[in-house]
Each structure stands twice: as C-alpha cells, then as structure tokens.
Structure 1
Amino acid sequence: MEIELGAGTVEYTDTGGPGPVLVFVHGLLMDGTLWDSVVASLPGHRCVVPTLPLGAHRQPMRPETDLSLSGIAALLTEFLERLDLREVTLVGVDTGGALVQLAMVDGGARVSRVVLASCDAFDNFPPGLTGKTLFLTGKLSPGLFGLFMQQMRLRAVRRLPIAFGWLTKRGDAVSAGWLRPLLREAAIRRDTVRLLRAFAATPEVLLEVAERLPAFDRPALVVWASEDRVMPPEHGERLAALLPKGKLVYVDDSYTLLPLDQPAEFARLVGEFTAG
C-alpha cells in the first residue's frame, strides 16, 4: 500500500481487522520487513507497518522535506492522522524507538501505549560503532557515499561491528534486502546523506526528549536485549524509571534487533502488553 504525505509517498502494510492497532517503527537503514515475523505472530491485531524515509525506502522524498529526527517523527504523526488510527500502541526499535520517544513528548494524542525496544536514547546518538560510522559517511557526497556502501553487498562486511554485526545475530538475509534501494537509486542515496547530516546536526535531541518523558502517563513497555552491544542495557532501566507507567523486560539471546533475533518472544510480550 502507499499513502501520499507532505514529504512524499510512504509505503506501508496493514493487516486490517478490528483488533488492537499496533504501529511498528523501524530503524535507520531498515524497512518494514524488519517486523514481518512479529506481525505474523500477532493474529487478531491490526498491524500497520510504514517504511519511513530512513535510508531503505524505495520512494524518494521531496527535495524540501525535513529529514531530521524531529521531521521524520512529524511524518509518523501525519501518517497516523491520515489513516485515522486511534488508540494506537506505537512500537519502535533502534532509531524507531527514538522516533517513538519524540511522538510521546510531542502530544501523541492518538497513542494509548508504547513499546520501546533496545533503542537510541539519552546521549547514545549516534548509537555504537554502527551509528558513528554512518554519521561519518554522511559527510561524503551522495556519489562517494554510494561507493562506500557498495561493500555492504558482501556478507562479511555486513557482519562487521560497524555494519549490522552487532545489531542482529540471525537477520543477515533480511538486512541485505534493506540495502538494495540505496545501492541502486541515486535519489535514495541523496535522501540518506541528507538525513544523516540532519541527524548529526542535533546530537542532543534525545537528551532533551528524556527531560520530557516523565509527562507521558500512559502504559509503556521497555524491552531490552540483555546482550545488546549497541544500546546500553542501563538505558532500558533509565527509560523505564522515567516513565510513570513504565515496565522493563529483558530478552536473552538477542542483539539490538529483537524482531529479527527473537520475534516470537517479542510478539508474545507485545501481545500480553496490549491485552493488559
């Protein structure tokens, strides 16, 4: 499916149905396929999964689009409004969790509860070696950025700590697919360089967001990978402590991308949370 928003065309999937509405938000250089196994494990829910312009999107954005973290969070809010989604459980991992935090503090009138899963928070922006490497490559021209990223075609490179190696134990086949639009399309490379530069220009953004999180008085589940090497587990504890109705759960045998490494367990936790 596609929807035309102020920034451009956004692709999404929607399982439909009358059940509780879950909106899943992916991270940087990822698309909606991150959530495929989780969605398949949540029958009875209406699962809506947008592919946001975070570097793995297939439709280039308009040249004037604000591709900062705040700009993309506003795009997510517009997406909820245009589809008239209400009483939403917003679920985010990696940079998607940062976007959920921004939605939480900027009103989030359509959001009834949130799930923050191993995500950028506080001063961990850019997160880990992967984020720092990406932010550095954003200083390149789109052409040179594209040349640098060509090496990601190789599995050995994708599995390095500066790539996806510390983000997922088991998700290489899925992550390889995320890179295809960027490797093939000059317009997607231009978008990606723009967003990386915009992200790098606001390194304090999540520290400012954290100061406002205690005002979010709706249920919040914080799910963290106990073996996470990119998102410090103590950040999960801090987020849960900041949120008046926050609850923290750890998941074993997973890196950051819980939807790839432990999809069944993650889906179980989300399903129980929405039922409660």
Structure 2
Amino acid sequence: MAEVRLPQGIVRYREHGPAEGQVLVFTHAFLLNGDTWRNVVPELARTYRCITPDWPMGAHSVPLDPSADLSPSGLVRLLADFLDALSLERVTLIGNDSAIALVQCAAVLHPERIERIVLTPYEALDSYPPPPFRLLRTAVKLPGAVWLGMQALRIPGATRLPITFGNYTKRPIEPAAMRSYLAPARRSRAIRRDIRKWLLSLDPGWTQRTVRRLPEFTGPALVVWAADDPLLPAPRRRLLPGARHIRVPDSYAGIPEDRPVLLAEAIARFLRKT
C-alpha cells in the first residue's frame, strides 16, 4: 500500500492498472476499507488506473489527526485534498452503500473534478442515514461503546446479524477480508475515536440539502441496484433522471462482496460507452 499525507492526516491507498489509464477512485461503506473492491478491481485494472483508498470510516489502519473534520462536508474536503495530492484532475468516482452520500456530495461540490459517478446502490433522501446508523449514533455516546461493540463481533455468528453485516451481504464475507475490516478498531483506540467521531458527525440536514442539488451534475452516471437489498430499495424520486440503471440479482447492498464479477462487468460496459 502507498500513503499520502493530507492536512487531515495520513490516508493509505492501493493502486492498480496502467499509470496512463483513465482514473477510477473507489469509496467504501462504514467499517470497511479498500479491500471491499478486491474482487472488482482486477478486471477493471486491465484498462483503468484503479485507486482504492482506506477512507477514515472505521477500518483504516492509520488514524487521522485528532483535529480532523469527519463530518460529511469534512469528508468531501478530504476527498478533494486526496485528489489534489495525487494530481488527479478528472476521475470516475465509484461508491458503495454508506459512502454513496460522499460520492453524491462530491459530484455536486466538485463537478470539475468528477467526470462520472457510479453508485452501488444509492441512498434515497428519505432513508439517510439508514436506520442502523441512527441506532449506532445513540449507542456510541456511551463510554467504551465502540470498544465493546468491536469485541462483541468476535462472538461466532455476530458478523451475520442484521445490525452488523447480515443485511449488507447475502453471504458471509471472506475471513481474511473480515479481519482486514475489524482488526484496526480492535487494536487502536485512535481508530475507535475516528469511528465515534464519524458517527456523531453525521449531518442528515447538510447531506440532504447538498444531495438535492444532484441534478446539477451533468456527467454520466450509473446506478447499480441490488435486487434483494432489504434496506435500500429503489427510491420514489430519482435525482439522476439521466443515469443508467441496472439491477444485479442475488445481492444485498454489498454488491462488491456478493456479485463482484457482475459489478465489474457492468462498470466496464458503462465506462466504454461513456
């Protein structure tokens, strides 16, 4: 892994594919990291330069500086600073699950940097944040709650509960990937601090106001729906009326985990056509 020093702290990232290829930058869900895309990137990296950072959402191996802003607007700034640090001018931004709000807001606030967006799937305004995060925001106010929660995930079967990863993927996540996701917060108090800060900094009002401007984004967009997702059904109102929409069968929101080959093929087709 490589790393870059930003004003907010160190961000580590993986890079695959030709250096001169079009750039794809990936985001991931809460309590996950760039390993989310481990089975998607190899196909795309044949043609495209694929960059998969570990964003500070709970499974990053290096904590950010204590003063770092992890609010939605702060994470958009962090993304812009990351693009600046790597001299990335026009990228395709690809997001999954709880990072979709970041992708949508970045497309609105930095359209000059974002050429295309891929959402897999995306949260409707009336479901942000999803119910599990509302519960977590209350729970982490208790002292030691994050440490206790991470230890509880050691219990056999705990990662398949609906409130953990059971509603994110239809099938268990590979053990090596799960260790990658859970190990940082188990060993580092500073990572647990970042988890708590991220959850408490969620700002539905700011996010919803910003995402309502999504029709201002005029670049190509792809929305990949998970046919069996119990938490993120297709919204009643589509903010990207010109987007291409496809539905992936036999998957929950964790499409990169459940159906990585189909997702890679769908993204590759979209990139070729646009």
1:74 partner amino acid: R
1:216-231 equivalent positions in 2, closer than 5 A:
216-231=217-232
Give distance in 2, aligned partners of 1:256 and 1:33: 16
**Residue aligning to 2:135:** 133
1:27 partner amino acid: A
Any conservation in 1 of the 2:17–2:47 contact (CA below 8 Å)? no
Shift of 1:250: 0.8
1:5-44 equivalent positions in 2, closer than 5 A:
5-17=6-18, 18-42=20-44, 43-44=46-47
Secondary structure at the residue paired with 2:92?
strand
**Residue aligning to 2:170:** 169
Give distance in 2, aligned partners of 1:177 and 1:140: 26
Give distance in 2, aligned partners of 1:183 and 1:123: 33
Higher alpha-carbon deviation: 12-21 or 250-259: 12-21
Q: What CA deviation, in whole Å up to 9, does each residue of 1:215-265 have, x standing for no partner? A: 111101011101111212x22x633xx225311111110000100000000
Give distance in 1, aligned partners of 2:241 and 2:88: 24
Give unmatched runs, 5+ long, in structure 1.
Answer: none
Shift of 1:77: 1.3
1:140 partner amino acid: L
Give distance in 2, aligned partners of 1:238 and 1:21: 30
Residue from 248, 256, 260 that aligns with 1:259: 256
Q: What CA deviation, in whole Å up to 9, does each residue of 1:105-127 have, x standing for no partner? A: 10231211100112333132221
Shift of 1:176: 4.1
Q: How many residue pairs align between the two structures?
A: 268
Any conservation in 2 of the 1:57–1:188 contact (CA below 8 Å)? yes
1:76-225 equivalent positions in 2, closer than 5 A:
76-129=79-132, 131-141=133-143, 143-172=144-173, 173=175, 174-199=177-202, 202-225=203-226
Any conservation in 2 of the 1:217–1:244 contact (CA below 8 Å)? no
Any conservation in 2 of the 1:119–1:231 contact (CA below 8 Å)? yes
Q: Structure 1 residues 238, 250: closer, same or farther in 2, change over 3 A?
A: farther
Q: What CA deviation, in whole Å up to 9, does each residue of 1:32-60 have, x standing for no partner? A: 00001000121111100110100111111
Shift of 1:171: 4.3
Shift of 1:81: 1.5
Shift of 1:96: 1.6
Secondary structure at the residue paired with 2:231?
coil
Shift of 1:16: 4.2
% identical equivalent positions: 41
Q: Structure 1 residues 204, 171: closer, same or farther in 2, change over 3 A?
A: farther
1:247 and 2:249 correspond: no
Higher alpha-carbon deviation: 154-163 or 119-128: 119-128
Give distance in 1, aligned partners of 2:237 and 2:24: 24
TM-score (structure 1 length as normaliser): 0.92
TM-score (structure 2 length as normaliser): 0.93
Give distance in 2, aligned partners of 1:69 and 1:152: 27
Give distance in 2, aligned partners of 1:185 and 1:24: 24
Give distance in 2, aligned partners of 1:176 and 1:118: 24
Any conservation in 2 of the 1:218–1:245 contact (CA below 8 Å)? no
Give distance in 1, aligned partners of 2:253 and 2:156: 19
> What is the aligned-residue RMSD (CA, Å)?
1.5
Any conservation in 1 of the 2:116–2:221 contact (CA below 8 Å)? yes
Secondary structure at the residue paired with 1:147?
helix
Give distance in 1, aligned partners of 2:183 and 2:255: 22
Secondary structure at the residue paired with 2:266?
helix
Any conservation in 2 of the 1:224–1:251 contact (CA below 8 Å)? yes
Q: Structure 1 residues 138, 238: closer, same or farther in 2, change over 3 A?
A: same
